[in-house]
Structure 1
């Protein structure tokens, strides 16, 4: 398994950050690994909702079928997906209000046989992508 995380303080209220985070039509404006939603983003943000995302990580394209696991408006969005080569992917966005700012944390995990072969490189690449995503997200809402 490879686990990654990144955290940033964004100078915007949690509701504003959440609105950008869940605007799937503008997902590519901040998410560094996102390339497209071939069928559009999730139809609803409810536990059990599914959607397909095309991504690029470590220079490789991947299609992931996501299932929404947990949603708490302006606080938590957790999704779990199945990718190529039997890789399971989990992503959890946590928002913690701090006055007029918000601390945003992204936790990700990758599991599967293919992950063990490239865990170190995957962690480095995914962490860099999370950091870049948080910088871009901050720029859009601040």
Structure 2
């Protein structure tokens, strides 16, 4: 298993960050791993909703079939997915209001036989992508 975490204080309300985080058409403006949603993001944001995403991880294209696994408006959004080579992925976005700002934390987990072969490189690549994604997200909502 490989686990990654990135966290940043963004000078915007949780509502504003949440609106950007769940704007599927604008995902590519901030997410460093996102390529596209072949069928669009989830039609309705609810636990159990499914959608597909084309991504780029460590420079390689990957299609992930996601399911929304946890949801609390303006607070928590988690998705679990199946990627190539049987890799299971969890991505969790947590928003913590802090006055006029919001602390945004992204946690990622990767599981599967292929992960053990490249866990170190995957962690480094994913950490860099998450930190840059948070920087770009902050620029869009500030």
Query: Gaps spanning 5+ residues in structure 1: where?
Result: none
Alignment of 1:83-122 (within 5 A): 83-122=83-122
Q: List runs of 5+ in structure 2 lacking aligned partners.
A: none
* Equivalent runs, 1:1-142 vs 2, <5 Å: 1-142=1-142
What's the offset of the Cα at 1:46?
Answer: 0.3
How far has the Cα of 1:94 moved from its partner?
A: 0.1
| Cα distance in structure 1, aligned partners of 2:23 and 2:71 | 14
Instruction: Give the superposition deviation at 1:20.
Output: 0.1
| Deviation at residue 141 of structure 1 after TM alignment | 0.1
**What is the aligned length?**
142
RMSD: 0.3
Query: What is the CA–CA distance in structure 2 between the aligned matches of 1:131 and 1:111, rounded to whole Å?
Result: 21
Please give the secondary structure, in 1, of the residue aligned with 2:48: coil
